[in-house]
A and B are shown apart, each in its own frame.
Chain A
Amino acid sequence: MTAAETPPPLIRMEGISKRYGGVRALENAHVEVAPGRIHAILGENGAGKSTLIKIIAGVVAPDEGRMLIGDREVTFRSPAEAAAEGIACVFQELSLIPDLSVADNIVISNPPHRFGMIDRRAQRALAEEALARAGAEDIHPRAAVKDLPLSRRQMVEIAKALASKPRALILDEATSALTAGDVAKVFAVLKRLRQEGLALVYISHRMHEIVELADTCTVFRNGRNVATFPAGSRSNSEIVQMMIGREYSNVFPARHRRPVEAGKAPVLECRNLGWSDRLRDISLSVGEGEVVGLGGLEGQGQRLLLLALFGVLRGMSGSVLVDGRPVTINTPTQARKPPLSMALIPEDRKTEGLMLPMTVRENLSFAALDQVAGGGIIDRKKEQQLIDDMVRLLEIKTAGLDAPVGALSGGNQQKVVIAKWLMRKPRIILLNDPTRGIDVGTKQELYQLLRRLAEAGAGIVFYSTDYDELIGCCDRVLVLYDGRVVRELKDGEISERALIASALNVDEGQEGTAA
């Protein structure tokens, strides 16, 4: 198809805004998707891509703006309503029902039926046809989805989207778990669909895929669409440049690295760490007083790496060394005890970090109970003193220590999580995106705290989806892509540009053009 003439758009989104609490995810976004085109959406973490897709798919409703299909204005209150308009989505988080069969899943939004009863034979035929169209004939329609490996499930997901005979198909990181052979098949399918006149929206962080597929690109930044251009008209480095440009609103504390004593082994080191196919050959070392950042796009293995170091994953390969001595970490209990003395500050404080209905005091002392207990009995006085120290150190604003943690603000909750772990005086601190959803003031306090802990000699591994934080807080940053470390950025090299370029796994110096 020639790009000279663009057909009138199938989906138009005009002035779409969406806020989650105080955070604006989308601000006055405009996007037009034409039939017979593959439209790539680009942007860094939190740029608003996912929210845009969720709005098109009817998963969330926009606060402002309108959406048109053809010339008709539509409002979707559920994914079912979007599906009825011919919009099919392949989500990154799979939307398959694990206990149902492949065939059941493929026809799920509109199973062939007579008198309300599902026609199993017709369903089987439809499923086989859809699997064949997606190039996944190797999958048996009767297999249970939960028994399939991730890459097969993603193919089923694509077949499912095709089976609904959509007018518009939205793919959100739909190839992230596929093998190279599958990707080629899926690309052939997408190109055929383009010829058949479908409107395709393609979100991917893999630049070479976009180069191969896209007709049009739209770049998002801070919830706004900043540029739309025909694919091939901009170079990779120009595109990276467009994605940069966050507003700097945070003040980061100055770095005073302690000089590393010569010959001293790093506090934490891992060599050739691997786990299933999600972590591959990861080596990292963290010296005393050093803050090592983990960067990259979301879901590239950063969280799993922290879990692996903390003894949550089973069946890892490779070795972990603490103070230069090889250790085997089998459980979190072992990880947090001396001599390892690790702490993991989780991202999801509601489920992994805190027991919300319990009081601040109880939450704080859980992690350190053995330090304040004698013979199984908790010494309230000792407990009180330890807690007072922490509340002072972190300036937790709480009406009273006996208030339930659930009543505190997000920022203060996160401080309680951190305080909880600091009470054990950890030497190795792992942080999993700890500032997500907390206010700027608290963020700043956390940065200062991080620095103080490092200066006191702790080794810190800090995963963040916020590039500013990595730039402002870290001595070194390892960028992960597809479960591997693709780049290590040192002091002067850590810039937003370098982070984004390596997160997308493109060479920032490379002046190749997109498509």
Chain B
Amino acid sequence: MSEWRYWLNEQRGTLTGLALFVVMFAVYAANHPAGFTANVVHTAANKGVLLAFVAMAQALVVITAGIDLSVGMIFVLTNCIASWIVVGAAVPTALGVAAVLMVGALCGAINGLLVIYGRLQPIVATIATGAVYFGLALLLRPFPGGSVNETLADALTGRLFGVVPSSLVALTAVVLFVWLPFKKSIVGRAAFAAGSSEQAAFMSGMPIRRGKFAAYLLGGLLAGMGGLFLTFFTYTGEAAYASGNAYTLWSIAAVVLGGVSLYGGRGSAVGAIFGAFAARTTGDMLFAFDVDPLWQPLLQGIVLMIAVSIGSLALLRVRNRLDWFQ
């Protein structure tokens, strides 16, 4: 087998996510009254980028064979904080941005500590911390409100050279400066190894704890970036419970669509981004085809169910049935 086929094999999940998105977006744009224009792309990018950040956060944790049910609430909490402190002149704004991102990372770090050192199951630990993060958000913003530095917000949600959505540029930068270094680092490899086979990783003397901790921490950071962008889009902060939950749920969907294995050890945050855009496009497609909004959740649910089922086809080939349960 030649080099590129191994590459193809490694990237299969991500490429599937990409293909899924391309096909869906093509169908959507072709049926959009305005067609494939810079405006349509811009709107789609800005809608999708929020879920993309949250999905990347989820992907990092899922790779370690964990799950983060608090991502949506970190997203909401950082939105509320940003609506207080990302204001004013250049320097206070920059400090505000840094503080918001630090809060995100801190939330992720708390999740990581509970899971790794507290030995709690990720699903339980993050449900609990998610409730705490939402509680804080509600105290900060009992009612929707606040503001944000609009110059910065418009710059990051507008278009570069009148064509490229700047939110996509920001997303690309995050991939280049957060995801790729993580993937290439030793801690990143330890995170993958822990997700694939924690026992083997331990036997091989890998820094499992550091790897998992880094994944949770960076996950919090990325969810915080999502919260920041939400503030840039809406100019306000809101402790929206339903929205936080929806983001958590759809982040898991996006991760699956983007080829990240829920069993851990395999996948990429880039795949999760494609998954997020694909998930967003399902909603937009229903709109383009003029489907009754009442039907949307049901149809999206069916799409999600089919996607998840495809992921478990491999189980049909198992020859020792006890392997099904491992």
Q: Are B185 and A117 in contact (CB under 8 A)?
A: yes
Interface size bracket, B side:
20 to 34
Interface string of A64-97 (1 = CB under 8 A from B): 0000000000000011111110000101001111
Asked if B320 is at the interface of the complex by the 8 Å CB criterion, the answer is: yes
Asked if A100 is at the interface of the complex by the 8 Å CB criterion, the answer is: yes
B253 to chain A, nearest CB (A): 22
Partner of B184, one of A91, A117, A352: A117
Q: Assuming the A-B contacts A111-B189, A142-B3, A313-B319, are A78 and B205 also in contact, with contact meaning beta carbons closer than 8 angstroms in the complex?
A: yes
Q: Are B265 and A116 in contact (CB under 8 A)?
A: no
Q: Are B189 and A79 in contact (CB under 8 A)?
A: no
Q: Which residues of A contact B193 (CB under 8 A)?
A: 97, 100, 108
Asked if B6 is at the interface of the complex by the 8 Å CB criterion, the answer is: yes
Q: Which residues of A contact B192 (CB under 8 A)?
A: 97, 99-100
Partner of B206, one of A109, A116, A140, A142: A109
Partner of B181, one of A84, A101, A117, A142: A117
Q: Assuming the A-B contacts A98-B265, A100-B196, are A143 and B186 also in contact, with contact meaning beta carbons closer than 8 angstroms in the complex?
A: no
Interface string of A41-59 (1 = CB under 8 A from B): 0000000000000000101
Q: Are A79 and B196 in contact (CB under 8 A)?
A: no
Interface string of A95-127 (1 = CB under 8 A from B): 111111100110011010100111010000000
Q: Are A140 and B204 in contact (CB under 8 A)?
A: no
Partner of A99, one of B6, B196, B202: B196
Asked if A315 is at the interface of the complex by the 8 Å CB criterion, the answer is: yes
Q: Are B201 and A97 in contact (CB under 8 A)?
A: yes
Q: Are B204 and A109 in contact (CB under 8 A)?
A: yes
Q: Which residues of B contact A57 (CB under 8 A)?
A: 203
Q: Could you tell me how many residues of chain A have their Cβ less than 8 Å away from some Cβ of chain B?
A: 45
Which positions 205-250 of chain A face chain B at CB distance < 8 Å?
Answer: none
B16 to chain A, nearest CB (A): 16
Asked if A178 is at the interface of the complex by the 8 Å CB criterion, the answer is: no
Q: How far is the CA of A108 from the CA of B181 in the complex (A)?
A: 17
Q: Which residues of B contact A403 (CB under 8 A)?
A: none
Q: Are A99 and B266 in contact (CB under 8 A)?
A: yes
Q: How far is the CA of A111 from the CA of B193 in the complex (A)?
A: 13
A222 to chain B, nearest CB (A): 27
Q: Assuming the A-B contacts A95-B203, A100-B189, A109-B204, are A140 and B1 also in contact, with contact meaning beta carbons closer than 8 angstroms in the complex?
A: yes
Asked if A312 is at the interface of the complex by the 8 Å CB criterion, the answer is: yes
A309 to chain B, nearest CB (A): 14
Q: Are B189 and A98 in contact (CB under 8 A)?
A: no
Q: Are B265 and A99 in contact (CB under 8 A)?
A: yes
Asked if A307 is at the interface of the complex by the 8 Å CB criterion, the answer is: yes
Q: Are B185 and A143 in contact (CB under 8 A)?
A: no
Asked if B154 is at the interface of the complex by the 8 Å CB criterion, the answer is: no
Q: Which residues of B contact A394 (CB under 8 A)?
A: none
Q: How far is the CA of A101 from the CA of B193 in the complex (A)?
A: 11
Q: Are A143 and B205 in contact (CB under 8 A)?
A: no
Q: Assuming the A-B contacts A109-B206, A144-B10, are A95 and B200 also in contact, with contact meaning beta carbons closer than 8 angstroms in the complex?
A: yes
Q: Assuming the A-B contacts A109-B204, A312-B322, are A97 and B197 also in contact, with contact meaning beta carbons closer than 8 angstroms in the complex?
A: yes
Asked if B321 is at the interface of the complex by the 8 Å CB criterion, the answer is: yes
Q: Are A91 and B203 in contact (CB under 8 A)?
A: yes
Q: Are A94 and B200 in contact (CB under 8 A)?
A: yes
B190 to chain A, nearest CB (A): 9
Q: Are B203 and A118 in contact (CB under 8 A)?
A: no
Q: Which residues of A contact B197 (CB under 8 A)?
A: 96-99
Chain B: CB-nearest residue to A116: B185
Chain B: CB-nearest residue to A164: B205
Asked if A314 is at the interface of the complex by the 8 Å CB criterion, the answer is: yes
Q: Which residues of B contact A113 (CB under 8 A)?
A: 185-186
Q: Which residues of B contact A510 (CB under 8 A)?
A: none
Q: Are A109 and B200 in contact (CB under 8 A)?
A: no
Q: Are B186 and A116 in contact (CB under 8 A)?
A: yes
Asked if A179 is at the interface of the complex by the 8 Å CB criterion, the answer is: no
Interface centre among A80, A97, A116 (most CB of B within 10 A): A97
Interface string of B228-268 (1 = CB under 8 A from A): 00000000000000000000000000000000010001100
Interface string of B169-208 (1 = CB under 8 A from A): 0000000000001001111010011011101111111110
A345 to chain B, nearest CB (A): 15
Q: Are A314 and B265 in contact (CB under 8 A)?
A: no
Q: How far is the CA of A117 from the CA of B197 in the complex (A)?
A: 22
B15 to chain A, nearest CB (A): 15
Chain A: CB-nearest residue to B193: A97
Chain A: CB-nearest residue to B266: A99
Q: Which residues of A contact B185 (CB under 8 A)?
A: 113, 116-118
Q: Are B196 and A140 in contact (CB under 8 A)?
A: no
Q: How far is the CA of A276 from the CA of B184 in the complex (A)?
A: 38
Chain B: CB-nearest residue to A160: B204
Q: Are B202 and A314 in contact (CB under 8 A)?
A: no
Interface string of B199-228 (1 = CB under 8 A from A): 111111111000000000000000000000
Q: Are A142 and B319 in contact (CB under 8 A)?
A: no
Q: How far is the CA of A276 from the CA of B320 in the complex (A)?
A: 10
Q: Which residues of B contact A142 (CB under 8 A)?
A: 3, 6-7, 10
Interface centre among B192, B196, B205, B265 (most CB of A within 10 A): B205
Partner of B320, one of A94, A108, A313: A313
Q: How far is the CA of A140 from the CA of B192 in the complex (A)?
A: 20
A243 to chain B, nearest CB (A): 28
Q: How far is the CA of A221 from the CA of B228 in the complex (A)?
A: 66
Chain A residues at the B interface, C-beta cutoff of 8 Å: 57, 59, 78-84, 89, 91, 94-101, 104-105, 108-109, 111, 113, 116-118, 120, 140, 142-144, 147, 160, 275-276, 304, 307, 312-315, 331, 352
- Besides the contacts A98-B197, A276-B319, A314-B318, what 15 more A-B pairs have beta carbons closer than 8 Å? A78-B202, A95-B204, A97-B193, A99-B261, A100-B192, A100-B193, A100-B196, A118-B184, A140-B6, A142-B3, A142-B10, A143-B6, A314-B319, A314-B320, A315-B319
Closest 6 CB pairs of A and B: A80-B205, A99-B265, A95-B203, A142-B6, A99-B196, A97-B193
20 CB contacts below 8 A, A to B, read A78-B202, A79-B204, A99-B196, A99-B261, A99-B266, A108-B189, A108-B204, A108-B206, A116-B185, A117-B185, A118-B185, A118-B186, A307-B320, A312-B320, A312-B322, A313-B320, A314-B321, A315-B319, A331-B321, A352-B322
